[in-house]
Amino acid sequence: MGKHVAIKCPAGGGSKYYNYKGFHSIVLMGLVDANYKFKWVNVGAPGACSDAQIWNQSDLKNHIIDENMHIPKAEPLPNDDKDIPYFIVGDDAFALRSWLMKPFSRRNMTLEERVFNYRLSRSRRVVENAFGILANRFQCLLSTLKQEPNNVVSIILACVCLHNIMRIRYPGDQNILLDREDENHHLLPGAWRDETNLKDIDDVQDRNYPSKAAKQQRLYLKHYYSSPAGKVPWQERMVQ
């Protein structure tokens, strides 16, 4: 996921930093774990860039492709015996890969596809909350930073590092800000959503075609999430 951090247009910046939201910005793209910590960030791309452009030029993508990331070996999902690779949860901007799962197209979805998208969106909510907590805690990111781009990058990186430290040392202080679910699994929006938030970056889809293995893996996950082994009792009610 990527977010815009507003900046004053640097001298000679022209339209390079001008985003489709109508202001100048630098992009923060991040990979978040289940504990709302940033595991990787890419900071500094001009605001005119899309998610897909930044991702395709990132060191993380190249390291994953080159198998230099020391990602754990594939393991079976609960109540199953088929090994499934660890994967990143992405959105429509990214190309489907065995190591990056994205939702099905919303056109004419089957029940199983709606369930898959629901399960993926619950995971992706963690990412949204991590960015929300970051901006809530370090509200300079919600203002227009007037420093030069290189200094803005340093400010953003410092905020991310401090965010991770606070998630480790004082998780309870921030948990009140998080989204929760009630006893019926309906979303209870976290306090971070009451504040101004960082703007999403342009959702331009990656034109790279998915691999056969990636499509087969998503189909397997689709069936798994609707099977007795992988379903949760409330999921069909949530997608009706």
Q: Is the overall model pTM greater than 0.75, yes or no?
A: yes
Q: Are 142 and 159 in contact (CB under 8 A)?
A: no
CB atoms within 10 A of CB 194: 11
Task: Kindly report, residue by residue over 24-59, the tens digit of the pLDDT.
Answer: 999 999 999 999 999 999 999 999 998 888 999 999
Q: How many domains does the chain have?
A: 1
Task: Kindly report, residue by residue over 93-125, the tens digit of the pLDDT.
Answer: 889 999 999 999 988 999 999 999 999 999 999
Q: What string of DSSP letters covers 152-170?
A: HHHHHHHHHHHHHHHHHH-
Task: Kindly report, residue by residue over 51-96, the tens digit of the pLDDT.
Answer: 888 999 999 999 999 988 888 999 999 999 999 999 999 988 889 9
Q: Which domain holds residue 113?
A: 2-239
Average pLDDT for the chain: 91
Tell me how far apart the alpha carbons of residues 32 and 95 are, in angstroms, rounded to a whole number. 18
Q: Predicted confidence band at 194 (pLDDT cuts at 50, 70, 90)?
A: confident
